[in-house]
Amino acid sequence: MQSNLIGYLPSNEVLDTVTDATKPTSTLVHPVWKPMPILSTMTPVLASGATGTGTTQVLSSNTIGNGIPQNVLSIDVSQQATQQRAPDGHLYTIVGVSFIAVPGDANFAGVNIYFVGFHGQPTPTLVGGGIESPVSFSIESTNETVTVIVASYNGSGVVNSYESSPTTTLTLNGVTSPPNPPTLAQGATAIMAGTTQIGWQFAFNAIQGLEADTIDGYWIYRTASGTAPTPPNSRFTYMAHPSTNLGTITFPDLTAGGTQYWYWISAVNTTGLESPLVETVGNVSANAYPGSYTNNGTSGYSNPTQAYGGNESDAATATVSTSTTVSETWYGFPAVANVLEATLYVMSDASYTAGAGTYECFTHNVEIKTPDGYVPIGDLPEDEPFFIENKTGVHYAVLIVHEGERATIDIGNDPSEKRYVTLDHPMIDGGVLIPASSYYEGCPVIQYEGKVYNLHVITDDEASRHYILWNGDIAHNKPINGYYQPNDSTGSRTLSYSLNGGSSWTQISSTDNQTKQYASVSLSPSQDFTKVQVKATSTVTLDGGSFSLTSDIYEIHITYVT
C-alpha cells in the first residue's frame, strides 16, 4: 500500500490545511507544518513549496515503542512528470521516495523526509513523510540539487538522528521520465449492428492521483497488424485528459467497419513526454463464411454464392410452383483456433401465393340427360331437387352453382355455343376417371368468367354417381363436399444445419411465410467449423389449386470470438 503523507505529527500537534472540498480549484494549497521533536542538534524547517495527499496518522505509544528506531535499510528517490505551472508562477514536480524498514523494529513508526539545500537552506527542510513506502509529494522545481534524508521516527514522533540516516541526491530540474501508461478498462471488442460489425471499441482509465495534474492527454494508435507501432508512426487520434482527473475514457472507432485492427494507448504529460504503449488486448470478434455449395438434387437455389460474404441485400433464391423439392447445401467454413464462443447465423425470408380451389363444373349450355330429354345444365332448378337419367336409371339430383374466372375447355362443335368444362372435371373413360384436360386433349382452352354448374346425384351407389352429356360423354359426380375442391396445396422452406459434415441434420426452422430475419444457433467453442453445413430445402405439394413458394437465403456465417 502506498502512503502519500506529508510527514508525521505526534498526538499533541495539529496540521492546519485546506481540504480538497474547500480549496480554490486553480490554487495549489500547501499545508503548514509545526515543528517535530528530533534527536538532532539541527532544527529542520517545513518547506513552503511542498504538498501531498493522504490522511494524517497519529500513532499511539501503546502499539509502537518509544525507543530510538533503526535507520531504514535503503532508499530510492524518483522524480515523475512535471506539473503545470501554478498560479504563483512556480513549476512543480512529483517526487517519490521508497524505503525498506528494518524487519521487526518495534520502535519504527514511519519516516520523515528532509531536503538539504532546498531554496538554498543549509539546514534540513521537512518536505514529506509517511508510515509506508513509497511516499509521494509535490514540490517546487527549483533546479537545485538537494540532499534527500530519510529519517525514522518512533511511536511518539521522535525522529532518529538524520545525520546517520541514509541520504541520496536529487536535482529538482523538472526534467523527468515519461508518465505511467493508462490502465485498460475494457479490451477491444466489436461494435455490432445486429450481426453486422460496424467498428471497434475499447476503454481505458484516466490517470489519477498526484500524477493526474501532469497529464495532457492520450494518443490512440491503430495498425492493421498485431505488431506494436513505433511512435509517432500509426498515430490515429488524440484524446484530451479529463479536467476532473477522473473516469473511464471510451473510444469507439466507427471508421473500421468489419476490418480487423489493433489498437494501442499512451499517456502524454504537459511537457510532451509520452508513456510506453499499452495494447488494448481484448476478445477479437470476426465472421467466418462458407466457401462452397452443392445441390442435393437436380436443382437448387439460384446464385448460391450470394448467401454468404457479408452482403445482406443479395440472396440465393428458389421459387417452386410444382409438386417438387429443391435443396441447396453450403459448407466450407475455415478452421479457426482458440475460439471462446461462436454462433451460426442464417438470414432468410419465405413467402407464397396460392390460387383458389378448383371447381369441377360445366358452363350453362352443356346439356344433361333427363327423363324429359337433354336440358342445358344452367336451366335446371337451383333451389330444389330434380330428376336426371344415367346408365343406372333415374335419380334425384341437385344443382351446384359457382361463379368466377377459370380456364375451361371448349367441348362443343360451335364456339358460339360456349359449351365449356373446367380442366379438372373427372370424366369416365372405359371405367377410369381422368381429368377433362386429358379426356378432351387438343380442344381449345378458353378463359371463362361467369357461372359454372355441377350436379350432385343423390345416391349411395357409387356406380350411379355420374351423368350423361348431350354428346354421349359421361361426367363423374363426387359427393356434395367434393363439388368444390378446396386448395389443399402446401409448401414449406426448411432450414437445417449439420455439425458433422452432413452425417446428421438438425432443423432450425420450417415455414412458408417469414419476413427477412436471422435465425441463430449457438455453437460449442470446440466445434470444428470445417464440419458445419447449412441446408435450405423448399418443397411444394399441389392439391386442388396453385401454390408458389419463394425462399431467399441472404446470409450465412459464423460469428466467433477469440
Q: Which of 137, 171, 205 is the last residue of a domain?
A: 171
Quick one: which of 346, 336, 281 has its CA closest to 524?
Answer: 336
Give, in order, the Cα–Cα distances in Å from 147 to each of 38, 52, 127, 174. Answer: 18, 20, 12, 16
DSSP β-bridge partners for residue 77: 97
Mean pLDDT of the chain: 80
* 364 & 454 share domain: yes
Whether 482 shows a pLDDT value over 50: the answer reads no
Q: Is residue 10 part of a domain?
A: no
pLDDT tens digits for 129-176?
A: 999 988 988 888 888 999 999 999 998 888 888 788 999 999 887 656
* 388 & 450 share domain: yes
- Residue 365 belongs to a domain with what CATH number? 2.170.16.10
Which residue range forms the structural domain that includes residue 255? 183-282
pLDDT-based confidence at 291, cuts 50/70/90? confident
| Predicted pLDDT of residue 10 | 31
- Residue 295 belongs to a domain with what CATH number? 2.60.120
Alpha carbon distance 361, 453 (integer Å) = 5
Q: Is the Cα torsion angle 157, 163, 165, 170 positive or negative in sign? A: positive
Average pLDDT over residues 408-423: 92
Whether 38 shows a pLDDT value over 60: the answer reads no
Cell of 491: 409448401
* 364 & 455 share domain: yes
* 114 & 260 share domain: no
Q: Is residue 12 part of a domain?
A: no
| Predicted pLDDT of residue 47 | 52
Q: Is residue 16 part of a domain?
A: no
| Predicted pLDDT of residue 147 | 94
Q: Which of 483, 503, 527 is the last residue of a domain?
A: 483
Q: Is residue 144 part of a domain?
A: yes
Alpha carbon distance 296, 535 (integer Å) = 9
Q: Are strands 285-288 and 248-253 parallel, antiparallel or unpaired?
A: unpaired
* 453 & 384 share domain: yes
Q: Is residue 13 part of a domain?
A: no
| Beta strand extents in 357-473 (DSSP E only) | 358-359, 367-370, 373-376, 386-390, 393-410, 420-422, 426-429, 432-435, 445-457, 466-468
Alpha carbon distance 507, 45 (integer Å) = 84
Q: Is residue 268 part of a domain?
A: yes
* 478 & 525 share domain: no
Cell of 378: 344452367
Whether 192 shows a pLDDT value over 50: the answer reads yes
DSSP-derived letter for residue 436 is H
Work out how many domains the chain is built from and give that number. 4
Q: Is residue 453 part of a domain?
A: yes
* 479 & 368 share domain: yes
* 444 & 376 share domain: yes
* 348 & 362 share domain: no
Q: Which residues of 363-376 are buried (b: 16+ CB within 10 A; e: fewer)?
A: bbbbbbbbeeeeeb
- Residue 224 belongs to a domain with what CATH number? 2.60.40
Average pLDDT over residues 491-507: 94
Quick one: which of 447, 436, 452 has its CA closest to 401?
Answer: 452
* 50 & 163 share domain: yes
Phi and psi angles of residue 47, each rounded to the nearest 5 degrees, phi first = -70, 130
Highest mean pLDDT among 60-74, 213-227, 375-389 belongs to: 375-389
Global pTM value = 0.42
3-class DSSP assignment, residue 417: helix
* 470 & 371 share domain: yes
pLDDT-based confidence at 412, cuts 50/70/90? very high
* 137 & 60 share domain: yes
Average pLDDT over residues 260-279: 88
Q: Is residue 40 part of a domain?
A: no
Whether 59 shows a pLDDT value over 50: the answer reads no
- Residue 49 belongs to a domain with what CATH number? 2.60.40.10
Q: Which of 120, 147, 171 is the last residue of a domain?
A: 171
Highest mean pLDDT among 399-403, 487-491, 527-531, 541-545 belongs to: 527-531
pLDDT tens digits for 343-362?
A: 899 999 999 887 655 557 89
Q: Is the Cα torsion angle 458, 459, 465, 466 positive or negative in sign? A: negative
